[in-house]
Chains A and B, each alone.
Chain A
Amino acid sequence: MTVRKRMHLAAHFPGVNSTTVWTDPRSKSQIDFASFEHLARTAERGLFDFFFLAEGLRLREHKGRIHDLDVVGRPESITVLNALAAVTERLGLAATVNATFNEPYELARRLATLDHLSGGRAAWNVVTSSDAFTGENFRRGGFLDRADRYARAAEFVATARELWDSWTPEGVARPFAHQGQHFDIAGEFGLPRSPQGQPVVIQAGDSDEGREFAAATADVVFTRHGTLDAGREFYADVKGRLATYGRSPEDLKIMPGVTVVLGDTAADARERAAEIRRRQVSPQNALLALEQIWGVDLSSYDPDGPLPDIDPEPEPALARGRVRVADPLAVAEKWRALSRAKGLSIRQTVIEASGRQSFVGTPETVAAELDEFVTTGAADGFILVPHLTPGGLDEFVDRVVPLLQERGAFRTEYTGTTLRSHLGLPEPIWKG
């Protein structure tokens, strides 16, 4: 008899995200500490593995001006998490921090401090940037080509691990020296080895380089594969890469970012999901989504009218600070086809074509579907991305978590104190 596989759950603070609905009367501040405290306490009440904060180092711009249609403005992640450590006891605390605009010594020190102050609950979501636009806020301008980004990130993580391991297990500081392609540093690290050995490392890229990087170095992968088939394919691919690095499949947890909409009946849930999509895609946001593909000013178009007949600019330069659309012509053709086939307006087309909710249904069906993902090898757990700040997970914790526990699919208490213990990850062996 095999042990029942249990899922891991994390709470993504909605905040700055185009899917965060700010027009709902229940939507509260994305800045006030009370909002962070609310969501973190909810996640801990639900026995979640960790709380997750994203990062943005430059406000997005559109047509040369600050993008004004979505939630914007956020506090700095590690500082918020240190404060949250005071109002939670077991919940893991994960910060997204860019490796391109930081230096290993300082970031390793900040993460080790969070781990000490929280009693072993820190995690770092490693992201990289090749973005000279964001680089305008920093001494090091930031431009790196794709391959260099991952090489630098890999060396960054390896260096951080050397620093985290530089004191002896007995707490004696010892000098370190690291000489590599990207970093040449030496001295003594500021903190002893942290309560969970090393902070948990999360990786969120989906490219081939990203997958390889995750297999080599990460403890958790944050993916975007929200369907069963895509999830299984990604899961098998990434887990299959681990043996090369002397790691076993359970050493790396795969957690897709997903959204959940609940209702008392299936129809009720579908209706709520549609209403959320309408609020996520305002008329102004629909035109903006179109401009990001067409690459030209479309402000004269009616969002409730048909799509433009003109073709997109092949090299658009309107939007800065977000990922470019790879093949605008193909996307435009697909959207026009969708609009023609279903008789949809611009806004309806954008709603139809862009990101939908991953799980929509009653608490019972959602619990069963989540469990199926985990038991059939599509995920080890989920990073839940609510659409409301800060109450967006209240209902999930109250209605779905108990059902997951009844099925034996989720823990009924925290058995350890560290994030590694929640994730079932062994403490890293001290490498001296």
Chain B
Amino acid sequence: MTAPHGRGLLHLAAALDQQTAFDAASYVGPAQLAERGGLDFVTLGDTFARPGPDALAVLSRVAPATRRIGLVPTVTTTHTEPFHVQAAVATLDWVSRGRAGWQLDVSTTEGEARLFGRRHAAPADALWREAGEIAEVAARLWDSWEDDAEIRDEATGRFVDRDKLHHVDFRGATFFVKGPSIVPRPPQGHPVRVVDATEGPARRVAARYADVALVRVVGPTQARAVRAELRDAAAKFGRHPDTLRVLASLVVDLGDGERAAEPGHGGGGPRQTAQGPLYRGGPVDLAELIAAWHASEAVDGFHLTPVEPHRDLERLVNGTVALLQHRGLFRTFYPGSTLREHLGLARPANQYAVTGGAS
């Protein structure tokens, strides 16, 4: 599928979050449904503040039951060791054969801090600065093995070429990591980093490190402005702005039939609620909205959170997505096998291979 009118391809993602489901089947079925719709990826949120399973574990369980769809768990950075975070994300990429992402988040409450008893709650901006450092050290640790480090050279008895393994010696404001990682470089090089860039402190981290930025916005004008700001900021960090995908995050309630139940709402666009911008209406109207925002280059795609997980995901895939596919606006099969390929993002070069330095 080529991109019409110079626009980028449309990207779609769905959240699998549901209240207090602890068994595998509750997540496997919906992930398979999203894959049948050809979605770029599914997300699963995680927080220590509410009950729920470990999101990265759930998506690891989902990985062998799916073949193509990207798997993006939230992994928080405030209380978990940076070394463990990067190893788990790299491993998700290995078990899914290149389909892992990682949505970064922080834990700001004293309640979460008390579960660990190691540090007190801190303001969001300090925690996001730290999250940025952890995004940085994760990338260095993923690069700490060059792709061809494993040589299995029987003549010299060497399993690895140790000149292609690197100490990272990273010192952040609150932690130090020596490296190298215990996990060889993951299939995607760097698993896809996702940041909800709606709030200020996170937006800076998104501009610098995210491959995908999520923004909670109610209209295309606002979306276009945030996207432009993120792309400018990315360029100032030395990135090409096209290496950043910006997706509008909407909560969707598709319970009201084919067309908008509330005059001036569904077709008219989302409205702000406590859970974020809420779209309420029919799957067809949602397809119109997606097509319109994307056509006007307000966003690169959408991240949709069903209000009623099973009902709304089913309507999203069989209604909204099917219509977008019918109109040639969304892929009908996966041409690639990795999440980076779905997103049109190149596999990053290894920072240590470029400089060629030995550890």
- Enumerate B50-98 residues with CB–CB distance to A below 8 Å: 50-54, 56-58, 60-65, 79-84, 87-88, 90-92, 94-97
Find out whether the CB atom of B84 lies under 8 angstroms from the CB atom of A76.
yes
The verdict on B225 contacting chain A, using a C-beta distance below 8 Å, is no
Say which one of B150-158, B195-203, B211-219, B316-324 lies at the interface with A. Answer: B150-158
Given contacts A74-B182, A79-B92, A80-B95, contact A66 B23 (CB under 8 A): no
Find out whether the CB atom of B57 lies under 8 angstroms from the CB atom of A190.
no
Q: How far is the CA of A108 from the CA of B115 in the complex (A)?
A: 11
The verdict on A57 contacting chain B, using a C-beta distance below 8 Å, is yes
Query: In whole Å, how far is A103's beta carbon from the nearest beta carbon of chain B?
Result: 5
A86 touches which one: B53, B61, B80, B176 (CB < 8 A)? B61
Convert A26-62 into 0s and 1s, putting 1 for each residue whose CB lies closer than 8 angstroms to a CB of B.
0000011100010000000000000000001111000
Minimum CB distance partner of B177 in chain A:
A137
Find out whether the CB atom of A86 lies under 8 angstroms from the CB atom of B159.
no
Find out whether the CB atom of A82 lies under 8 angstroms from the CB atom of B61.
yes
The verdict on B24 contacting chain A, using a C-beta distance below 8 Å, is yes
Find out whether the CB atom of B159 lies under 8 angstroms from the CB atom of A82.
no
Minimum CB distance partner of A288 in chain B:
B157
Query: In whole Å, how far is A414's beta carbon from the nearest beta carbon of chain B?
Result: 19
Minimum CB distance partner of A23 in chain B:
B154
The verdict on B145 contacting chain A, using a C-beta distance below 8 Å, is yes
Given contacts A66-B359, A103-B118, A283-B157, contact A73 B145 (CB under 8 A): yes
Find out whether the CB atom of A78 lies under 8 angstroms from the CB atom of B57.
yes
Contacts of A284 in B (CB 8 A): 156-158
Query: In whole Å, how far is B18's beta carbon from the nearest beta carbon of chain A?
Result: 14
Minimum CB distance partner of B80 in chain A:
A106
Q: How far is the CA of A58 from the CA of B83 in the complex (A)?
A: 10
Given contacts A66-B180, A110-B54, A191-B51, contact A76 B87 (CB under 8 A): yes
Sort chain B's interface into a size bin.
35 or more
Convert B1-29 into 0s and 1s, putting 1 for each residue whose CB lies closer than 8 angstroms to a CB of A.
00000000000000000000011100010
Convert A249-275 into 0s and 1s, putting 1 for each residue whose CB lies closer than 8 angstroms to a CB of B.
000000000000000000000000000
Q: How far is the CA of A101 from the CA of B91 in the complex (A)?
A: 18
The verdict on B334 contacting chain A, using a C-beta distance below 8 Å, is no
The verdict on B233 contacting chain A, using a C-beta distance below 8 Å, is no
Q: How far is the CA of A187 from the CA of B49 in the complex (A)?
A: 9
A33 touches which one: B94, B114, B176 (CB < 8 A)? B94
A76 touches which one: B24, B117, B154, B183 (CB < 8 A)? B183
Contacts of A5 in B (CB 8 A): none
- Please report B residues at the A interface, Cβ cutoff 8 Å: 22-24, 28, 48, 50-54, 56-58, 60-65, 79-84, 87-88, 90-92, 94-97, 111-112, 114-118, 145, 149-150, 152, 154, 156-162, 165, 174-180, 182-184, 359
A-B contact pairs, 27 of them (CB 8 A): A31-B184, A33-B64, A33-B94, A58-B182, A68-B158, A68-B161, A69-B159, A73-B149, A75-B94, A76-B88, A83-B60, A86-B64, A101-B84, A105-B48, A105-B115, A106-B79, A113-B53, A117-B23, A138-B83, A138-B177, A173-B51, A186-B114, A187-B112, A190-B52, A282-B157, A284-B156, A285-B157
Known: A33-B94, A65-B162, A86-B24. 9 other contacts (CB 8 A): A72-B159, A75-B90, A82-B60, A82-B61, A119-B23, A139-B82, A139-B175, A187-B114, A284-B158
- Please report A residues at the B interface, Cβ cutoff 8 Å: 22-23, 31-33, 37, 56-59, 65-76, 78-80, 82-83, 85-87, 101-103, 105-106, 109-110, 112-114, 116-119, 136-139, 173, 183-192, 282-285
